[in-house]
């Protein structure tokens, strides 16, 4: 039998024994046929390569991530991650769904990329409800029914609105879950349950949702895994304490590594491969680090045709010259080399143009703002001062803490400037209701100037924060003029900006240009005093009303724990 490819002299990773085995690998029609040293002339090929004792491991599998977090389109994302050894992802497209609804998801689904991009159906669009935030689209049972017909759909995306899930059996999220469960779709139900424990966690699991990717502690890992939850460990959960707990208790069957969000500028340097390296640096063996980035994620998603190097499996693999440093020399997809360190990606396998609908561009239906739009008024004309709720930002988390600050009033106008806090405002951008809401932010944030964006999770309205009104107006109007994106201003000048014209959240520019411009935005925020492990995500999630504890939407301040709007004034 004449086969597609034979690679000789390899150290081949075996997922079932979690060890490397010396031998040859035979590939035909995009699949592994035989692994080992003993085979006869029934298997021959004109294409024989010497592996030169390299390490062969399965292609990396990332089962919880958002392409929109890289602010790019699927084709550009595919070109970027293949270099990092990622051959399969399961994307939750709830960002594009919040802007365009089911039509946005279908735009992603129609793309055919060299990297296998599967999808989860966004379960929480909006992330809470239309009473708490305004979005461009919504996903309900009707849309779920339609999306379940697509072969690329593997799971129900992260269930974020846990209050409605456990407190209201007639809620939309329960209707969605029940529809999926009782319509012959035995697919994973993915979760989002930060700081949920005890009876709340048990009720969450009883619904059928049994995966979580949010920030973990040793305590949460122990409770969630003990109760049968599969954990997708992202970078911010990769602490020494957490990883030691997973290693010492041999919990490899119950978790995988996942990226969740990788910004465009960070994507140029690495993706899931960086987490594999980090896991090894934190004491995990190379063999187990590979296991939880290939085999366990594939199994979680029912992708039994990949995640290991064995007969009949898809021939997605990486050749490494150094195991501990995870030095990628070549990446193969379906038995074809698509990347080599010496020659880069094979461009013939990757698209160069976006196929996103033209009407998805220039979607910001918002006039430019003026200074008076940022006046915070108090209805009681007899007050001289007022105690306000503030959102306090810490440098190592995207959670906030509710604090308070007493500020003076002048003719019923809040005098917030020069009080060691910033004003934050959200403007509804879909042309539905013209909502504007206000909040105050303190902590590890800008100390001067302003920043604005429409990449505001998950509703993606226009959000602007600053230390003075003039710079806030400048930054916000720059974003509007770009058709969406990011802008940083100080002392009357735009310091950096990023155009995201597709829905105000993604761009079709080459990832190298996109990453460079985002890096400039990040640097400008740092220069103005923003002190955080991820400045972009920190600011953009101030509008995420399912992430503790106090956040803001176009409807107002949201008490996340109580799932309700509360006043800026106490």
**Portion of the chain with pLDDT greater than 90, in percent:** 90
pLDDT digit string, tens, across residues 59-71: 999 999 999 999 9
Whether 536 is covered by a domain: the verdict is yes
Provide mean pLDDT across the span 19-35.
96
Residue 38's CB: how many other CB atoms inside 10 A? Answer: 7
For residue 381, the model assigns a pLDDT of 86
Whether 448 is covered by a domain: the verdict is yes
- Pick the last residue of a domain from 274, 300, 326: 300
Q: What value does the mean pLDDT of the chain take?
A: 95
Provide mean pLDDT across the span 546-561.
96
| φ, ψ at 381 (rounded to 5°) | -80, -5
For residue 42, the model assigns a pLDDT of 79
pLDDT classification of 49: cutoffs 50, 70, 90: very high
14 pLDDT above the threshold of 80: yes
268 and 385 together in one domain? no
106 and 207 together in one domain? yes
pLDDT classification of 395: cutoffs 50, 70, 90: confident
CATH number of the domain that 237 lies in? 3.20.20.140
Name which of 472, 555, 130 is nearest 567 in CA terms.
555
375 and 296 together in one domain? no
For residue 353, the model assigns a pLDDT of 72
End-to-end CA distance of the chain: give it in Å, rounded. 78
* Separation of alpha carbons 102 and 105, rounded Å: 5
DSSP 129: -
DSSP SS3 for 382:
coil
pLDDT classification of 296: cutoffs 50, 70, 90: very high
- Pick the last residue of a domain from 284, 300, 316: 300
Whether 5 is covered by a domain: the verdict is no
pLDDT classification of 352: cutoffs 50, 70, 90: low
For residue 2, the model assigns a pLDDT of 87
Provide mean pLDDT across the span 246-250.
98
Q: Whole domain around residue 502: which residue ranges? A: 371-566
* Separation of alpha carbons 534 and 455, rounded Å: 14
167 and 254 together in one domain? yes
Whether 476 is covered by a domain: the verdict is yes
216 and 109 together in one domain? yes
293 and 384 together in one domain? no
DSSP lists the bridge partners of residue 410 as: 413
Provide mean pLDDT across the span 394-400.
89
Provide mean pLDDT across the span 20-27.
96
511-527 and 74-82 are packed helices; what angle lies between their axes, rounded to 10 degrees?
Answer: 90
For residue 33, the model assigns a pLDDT of 95
* Separation of alpha carbons 424 and 482, rounded Å: 20
For residue 113, the model assigns a pLDDT of 87
* Separation of alpha carbons 158 and 315, rounded Å: 29
Q: Which residue's entry shows tokens 């209805």?
A: 379
147 and 283 together in one domain? yes
Provide mean pLDDT across the span 356-362.
90
pLDDT classification of 535: cutoffs 50, 70, 90: very high
- Pick the last residue of a domain from 247, 267, 300: 300
Helical spans, DSSP H, in 419-485? 469-482
214 and 107 together in one domain? yes
DSSP 175: H
For residue 537, the model assigns a pLDDT of 94
pLDDT digit string, tens, across residues 163-214: 889 999 999 999 999 999 988 778 999 999 998 999 999 999 999 999 999 9
Whether 401 is covered by a domain: the verdict is yes
142 and 239 together in one domain? yes
Handedness of CA 278, 279, 283, 289 (dihedral sign): negative
For residue 88, the model assigns a pLDDT of 98
For residue 132, the model assigns a pLDDT of 97
* Tally of domains in the chain: 2
For residue 44, the model assigns a pLDDT of 81
> For residues 548 and 453, is the Cβ–Cβ distance under 8 A?
no
For residue 351, the model assigns a pLDDT of 72
Cα 93 from chain centre: 9
270 and 418 together in one domain? no
For residue 481, the model assigns a pLDDT of 98
Provide mean pLDDT across the span 345-353.
81
Provide mean pLDDT across the span 2-26.
96
* Separation of alpha carbons 242 and 219, rounded Å: 9
* Separation of alpha carbons 382 and 570, rounded Å: 16
Whether 204 is covered by a domain: the verdict is yes
404 and 290 together in one domain? no
247 and 146 together in one domain? yes
| φ, ψ at 50 (rounded to 5°) | -90, 120
218 pLDDT above the threshold of 80: yes
pLDDT digit string, tens, across residues 477-489: 999 999 999 999 9
pLDDT digit string, tens, across residues 109-141: 988 889 999 999 999 999 999 999 999 999 999
Name which of 324, 568, 558, 319 is nearest 438 in CA terms.
568
**Portion of the chain with pLDDT greater than 70, in percent:** 100
Whether 349 is covered by a domain: the verdict is no
Whether 244 is covered by a domain: the verdict is yes
């Amino acid at each position: 039998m004449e086969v597609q490819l034979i690679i000789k002299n390899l150290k081949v990773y075996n997922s079932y024994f979690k060890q490397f085995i010396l031998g040859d690998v035979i590939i035909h029609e995009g699949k592994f046929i035989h692994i080992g040293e003993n085979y006869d002339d029934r298997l021959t090929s004109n294409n024989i390569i010497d592996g030169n004792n390299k390490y062969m491991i399965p292609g990396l599998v990332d089962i919880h991530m958002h392409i929109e977090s890289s602010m790019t389109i699927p084709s550009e994302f595919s070109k970027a991650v293949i270099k990092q050894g990622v051959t399969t992802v399961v994307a939750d497209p709830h960002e594009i769904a919040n802007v365009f609804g089911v039509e946005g998801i279908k735009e992603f689904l129609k793309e055919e990329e060299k990297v296998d991009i599967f999808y989860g159906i966004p379960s929480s669009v909006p992330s809470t409800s239309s009473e708490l935030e305004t979005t461009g689209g919504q996903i309900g049972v009707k849309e779920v029914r339609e999306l379940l017909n697509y072969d690329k759909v593997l799971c129900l995306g992260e269930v974020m609105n846990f209050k409605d899930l456990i407190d209201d059996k007639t809620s939309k999220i329960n209707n969605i879950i029940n529809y999926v469960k009782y319509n012959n779709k035995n697919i994973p139900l993915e979760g989002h349950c930060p700081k949920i424990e005890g009876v709340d966690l048990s009720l969450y699991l009883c619904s059928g949702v049994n995966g979580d990717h949010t920030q973990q502690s040793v305590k949460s890992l122990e409770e969630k895994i003990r109760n049968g939850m599969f954990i997708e460990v992202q970078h911010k959960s990769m602490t020494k304490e957490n990883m030691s707990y997973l290693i010492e208790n041999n919990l490899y069957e119950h978790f995988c590594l996942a990226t969740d969000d990788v910004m465009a500028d960070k994507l140029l340097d690495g993706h899931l491969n960086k987490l594999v390296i980090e896991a090894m640096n934190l004491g995990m063996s190379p063999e187990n680090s590979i296991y939880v980035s290939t085999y366990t994620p594939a199994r979680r998603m029912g992708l039994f045709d990949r995640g290991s190097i064995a007969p009949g499996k898809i021939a997605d693999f990486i050749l490494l010259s150094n195991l501990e440093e995870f030095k990628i020399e070549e990446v193969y997809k379906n038995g074809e080399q698509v990347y080599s360190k010496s020659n880069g990606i094979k461009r013939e396998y990757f698209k160069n143009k976006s196929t996103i609908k033209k009407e998805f561009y220039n979607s910001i239906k918002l006039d430019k703002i003026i200074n008076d739009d940022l006046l915070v008024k108090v209805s009681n004309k007899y007050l001289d001062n007022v105690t306000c709720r503030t959102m306090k930002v810490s440098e190592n988390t995207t959670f906030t803490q509710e604090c308070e600050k007493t500020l003076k009033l002048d003719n019923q106008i809040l005098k917030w400037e020069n009080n060691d806090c910033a004003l934050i405002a959200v403007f509804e951008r879909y042309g539905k209701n013209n909502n504007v809401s206000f909040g105050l932010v303190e902590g590890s944030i800008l100390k001067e100037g302003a920043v604005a964006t429409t990449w505001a999770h998950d509703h993606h309205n226009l959000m602007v924060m600053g230390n003075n009104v003039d710079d806030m107006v400048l930054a916000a109007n720059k974003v509007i003029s770009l058709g969406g994106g990011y802008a940083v201003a100080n002392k009357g000048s735009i310091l950096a900006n990023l155009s995201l014209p597709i829905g105000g959240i993604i761009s079709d520019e080459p990832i190298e240009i996109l990453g460079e411009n985002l890096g400039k935005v990040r640097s400008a925020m740092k220069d103005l005093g923003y002190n955080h492990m991820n400045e972009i995500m920190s600011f953009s999630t101030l509008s995420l009303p399912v992430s503790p504890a106090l956040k803001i939407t176009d409807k107002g301040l949201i008490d996340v724990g109580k799932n309700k709007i509360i006043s800026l004034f106490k």
